A and B are shown apart, each in its own frame.
Chain A
């Protein structure tokens, strides 16, 4: 098995040379073979270092069977570009998560300062317009992609047994993505986001019996309160993304576990040799 190369271990920590071995392991420079040969050995070792390092990690985590099973799994005949919509949605989410983390470095979730901090990001911070623009337009891209992905799964019949649970998880992910859109819309705190959020919270309030309490929970009170904005901020950057990450994990686990489906126009192999007897009972 691969082992951690000696060259990467500081001399004091190396194993002492065994009796009779005149190796370079003791690291005291007393090599009878001379310096040039010593150097070429080091170069050789360094060349192998990345492979050795990966081997060292793999030996201790056992990750490679899992990774090869996940990344090099077999896919059915007829798999085409439509099957990339799910990965594309996840990539859009990763873009949102990364840009969001960096936007949070400059954003202030206070009703008095939020708009000023947004204009600061857009106008003054280096590349701020790009990062904020990526986050703003990326949100629409993610919602478009997630619905295209849902359409692909629906029209290819990929939601059928045994993949119903993955469909259910996917629907929850769509709802959470829309919640991200709703909560993120308030954060720039301009006139449009303020009034759009007022309307959205009041739509929640129109549900009989529970509606008023739901609206109160979202607003943190009876009116637009001092903590409404920070509540939306916490939902937008902590609670909902955490749930999305967890559910994407479950979604991917089931995709790997159950495999993907062939497109509906690909017929099964009906040659007698490949048919198996149906097992009953």
Chain B
């Protein structure tokens, strides 16, 4: 026997009245949900896409820095949050012994390439040493011991009116080739450049 037709049925309909209203109600509810959730998700993740201002901080006179020893300077990488926005940077003059241009300056980040603890330059040994998990780096910042996965990051430098200025951060490969800045714990060079993508707003690496 044929099923009885629902109330309001008319010949040739492909969908019951109830079915149409159910679908319509769910569609409106779904749209309202999406209209609420999408802006909130965007609100929470937007900072990832923000491009921070490019800061150049004066850190001292050209004469203040030597080629054979680092001098610690304190720079601000994020303003308005007090001590939490500051970091120590080790700066030296380019060294002829290391085939660097003596008119340039090298600024090495204190952010350990393992998990981001602050490393310290030990002058007597000529190495960088990390207090957290025992990472050790040589004079150029290359890993000589412990868990770090790549050499210490660097900051771009320039000389303006006889003043050394420290600019955006960049990371380096094991051979000190500049690449775009990565977070600590992330490998650089080769396939790792794709497995650890930099955030879209990261400035390009300086030419080597």
Q: Measuring CB to CB, which residues of chain A are less than 8 angstroms from any residue of chain B?
A: 111-112, 189, 194-195, 198-199, 201-203, 205-206, 208-209, 211-213, 215-217, 220-227, 229
Contacts and interface: CB of A to CB of B under 8 A. Distances in A.
Interface string B30-55: 00000000000000110110101000
24 contacts: A111-B82, A111-B84, A112-B82, A194-B84, A195-B118, A199-B115, A201-B116, A202-B115, A202-B184, A203-B115, A205-B184, A206-B186, A209-B195, A209-B197, A211-B186, A212-B183, A212-B196, A215-B183, A221-B48, A221-B52, A224-B84, A226-B78, A226-B80, A226-B81
B116 A198 contact: yes
Contacts of B182: 212
A210 to B, nearest CB: 10
B185 interface: yes
B185 A206 contact: yes
A216 B199 CA distance: 8
Interface in B47-73: 47-48, 50, 52
A10 B182 CA distance: 72
B161 to A, nearest CB: 28
A222 B201 contact: yes
Nearest to B182: A212
B78 A227 contact: no
B203 to A, nearest CB: 10
How would you classify the secondary structure of chain B's contact residues: helix, strand, loop or mixed? loop
B117 A222 contact: no
A213 to B, nearest CB: 6
B88 interface: no
Contacts of B132: 195, 199
B156 interface: no
A132 to B, nearest CB: 21
B78 A225 contact: yes
A222 B80 contact: no
Contacts of A203: 115, 185
A112 B48 contact: no
A226 B77 CA distance: 11
Contacts of B181: 222
Nearest to A113: B82
B202 interface: yes
B25 interface: no
Interface string B158-199: 000000000000000000000001111110000000011111
